[in-house]
Chains A and B, each alone.
Chain A
Amino acid sequence: MVAPPRPKRRFRQASVIPGFGLTFGYTLTCLGLVVLLPLAALVAKASGLGLSGIWYVATDPRVASALRISFGVSLLAALTASVFGFLVAWVLTRYRFPGRKLVDAVVDLPFALPTAVAGIALASLYAPNGLVGAQLARLGIQAAYTPVGIFIAMVFIGLPFAVRTVQPLIAEIDKEVEEASATLGATRWTTLIKVVLPPLIPAVLTGFALAFARGVGEYGSIIFIAGNLPYVSEIAPLLIVIKLSEFDYGGAAAIATIMLGISFLTLLAINLIQAWSRRRFGYV
């Protein structure tokens, strides 16, 4: 009933556990059909333009500025999400206060709330006549329909990544080390910077990279609140949709390939951070 481990016997290390051929084969088949084949079609379409063609699309000022906005704002948003994510993770693991578990559950909301719902909700909140937007307008800040709106949406969807990657590691920190540091005369601040923070950096970086990757690609929650002005608040995924509406499949594929390449590099960076962290600290 279990597929005989044909020549793969040498490919994987020996084990009494059966099912490698079956599950490995199934995994590769699914991965190939669902992920790799379609992505290959995308890259094939884009490569039809040639490297110079992709470069031409990428350096078109409107595309370049959309990519700059997507990546730039996402970088800022991921940074913000990381800072506040760290704070939230710290508060949730280190302090006991009423409603802590509720707050903990709320953190995952952006995972579960569909992006389009988040989009219309954020737009109606931050519009100049919205609940928060009206207050901001009084301060002279316009949030919705500007890059600030994009930023807000990206922080929203990126926050749980930042919290959830750091949280378990804060929980694992050995308090005795901190106490030792304190006993040796270090101030709390020094202890935090020199003792607590360094081992957490890889996790913070991973959370940052995940939030960043997710923000760059986000579409549903942003288009409602962004304003979508070329050169000001037009994001790269929207430009793909616009290129499609202009029947410019090659251009759409080229932008998508550029984004895909950067996503892949981000993921690779995450994996490298984790590998480095495993060597340096012995955990991920």
Chain B
Amino acid sequence: MSERHGTRRTGRIGRRAALAGLCLAGGLLTVVGAHAETALLNVSYDPTRELYRDINAAFAEDWKARTGETVTVRASHGGSGSQARTVIDGVDADVVTLGIPSDIDAIAKLTKRIPEDWRGKQPNAGLPYTSTVVFLVRKGNPKGVKDWGDLAKPDIKVITPNPKTSAGGRWNFLAAWGYAYNQDKDAAKADAFVGTVYKNVPVLDTGARGSTVTFAQRGLGDVLPTWENEAYLVLQEFGADKFDIVVPPTSIYAEPPVALVDANVDRKGTRKQAEAYLAFLYTDKAQAIFAKHHYRPFKPAAAAEADLKQLPDIKLFKIEDLQGNWDEIQKRNFDTGGLFDQLSRQGR
């Protein structure tokens, strides 16, 4: 092969490579260009994917009608703890809507981007909706699960997410503890009861969604204690002919709060839109959407009657009434060396 031929060939390849590079650079520019319009970022927890898809669309429409501005709300979802971690590490979240108050506390403490008194900034301590924990069981409830006490029976397999990473996992843990504590007001007995329940757990997924997939798709376990909204979603997605929802007589008052990330909205200049977004969550329109997705709205009057009927009457207890403030709850149960660590050490 003559040398000139070889050079011409590399020349052609070089030109082609340059062309490809140009195309890719163009692609890159469009990716960057997508930032131009006002975009809010809502960092949320695992099971709210379907909910915020509706809420975000409704807000964008509402905002457009009121101000003429186009705003897109992006959402990111995952285990509540991991999501809080990304905000701490610098995700540009305008608002956080997490699964448990202690995760917002952690952001406030570690970064100061959210004021420590965030609970006072929104109506109802930052809770546009609340929820609770119910049981999902296999059709016909073959193991006869009725109440939290049944989860500690020796022949029951319980599927629940890892309380270290998942807010849903933490609510399940606290609900089981609260149930046992309310039986005879003995904290040591309640600790032991939770230990027995977690001996029955064959898989600890990192998020509520992981646990649902394990239970519903992979067919593992007899009972899935889960967010009320998640239980109904499973019936919708996997078919009501495969599972039943069992509502225990008592359960926990689960508080998934929302907060503005002050430092981020001020830096990005999105305070106006972000505040409006949070305020929108308390409007009748949003409240109705919460109820439609089986969350318990702050203002039930705004929700459709049919949706409210789906939310059963359960006696709900607040974990704060039993264990003190959230710092204490977090430290007692989930921090390194806390109750969960002690139990898993015994449980092996």
- A contacts, CB < 8 Å to B: 60-62, 65, 123-124, 127-130, 144-145, 223, 227-232, 234, 238, 241-242, 244-248, 251
Contacts and interface: CB of A to CB of B under 8 A. Distances in A.
A-B complex: 5 closest residue pairs judged by Cβ atoms: A245-B81, A231-B348, A127-B218, A230-B344, A227-B203
Contacts of A129: 218-219
Contact of B202 (A130, A229, A231, A248): A229
A251 B336 contact: yes
B196 interface: no
Contacts of A123: 218
Interface in B312-348: 334-336, 341, 344-345, 347-348
B204 interface: yes
Given A65-B348, A145-B214, A228 B85 contact: no
Mostly, the B contact residues are: loop
B345 A61 contact: yes
A189 to B, nearest CB: 44
B79 interface: yes
B164 interface: yes
Given A65-B348, A227-B204, A229-B201, 9 more contacts: A60-B336, A127-B220, A145-B203, A145-B218, A223-B206, A227-B203, A241-B82, A245-B85, A246-B81
Contact of A228 (B203, B334, B347): B203
Contacts of B347: 231
B110 interface: yes
A62 B165 contact: no
11 contacts: A62-B345, A65-B348, A127-B218, A130-B218, A145-B203, A230-B344, A231-B344, A232-B348, A245-B84, A245-B165, A245-B206
A9 to B, nearest CB: 31
Contacts of A228: 162, 203-206
Contacts of A230: 204, 344, 348
B235 interface: no
A207 B192 CA distance: 48
Interface of B: 79, 81-82, 84-85, 88, 106, 110, 162, 164-165, 201-206, 214, 217-220, 334-336, 341, 344-345, 347-348
A229 B204 contact: yes
Contacts of A124: 218
A241 B219 CA distance: 26
A269 B138 CA distance: 52
**Highest count of chain A CB atoms <10 Å: which of B82, B165, B218, B348:** B218
B153 to A, nearest CB: 19
Contact of A242 (B106, B201, B206): B206
Given A230-B344, A245-B85, A127 B206 contact: no
B322 to A, nearest CB: 23
Given A145-B203, A231-B344, A244 B219 contact: no
A232 B84 CA distance: 27
Contacts of B81: 245-247
A247 B102 CA distance: 12
Contacts of A244: 82, 85
B127 to A, nearest CB: 23
Nearest to A247: B106
Contacts of B336: 60, 246, 248, 251
A130 B162 CA distance: 24
A170 to B, nearest CB: 34
Given A128-B218, A228-B203, A246 B341 contact: no
B82 A245 contact: yes
Nearest to A126: B218
B304 to A, nearest CB: 36
B164 A246 contact: yes
A128 B217 CA distance: 10
A223 to B, nearest CB: 7
A232 B206 CA distance: 15
A61 to B, nearest CB: 6
Contacts of A251: 336
B79 A245 contact: yes
Contacts of B106: 247
Contacts of B206: 223, 228, 238, 241-242, 245
Nearest to B207: A245
Contacts of B88: 247
Contact of A128 (B85, B219, B335, B344): B219
Contacts of A247: 81, 84-85, 88, 106, 110
A93 to B, nearest CB: 32
Contact of B162 (A61, A128, A242): A242
Nearest to B335: A246
Nearest to B79: A245
A229 B219 contact: no
A142 B64 CA distance: 54
B218 A245 contact: no
Nearest to A248: B336
A245 B81 CA distance: 5
A248 B337 CA distance: 13
Given A144-B218, A246-B336, A247-B106, A227 B202 contact: yes
A45 to B, nearest CB: 13
A225 to B, nearest CB: 10
A234 B82 CA distance: 17
Contacts of A231: 344-345, 347-348
A229 B218 CA distance: 16
A242 B165 contact: yes
Contacts of B214: 145
Contact of A62 (B79, B201, B202, B341): B341
A151 B43 CA distance: 35
Nearest to B166: A245
A124 B79 CA distance: 22
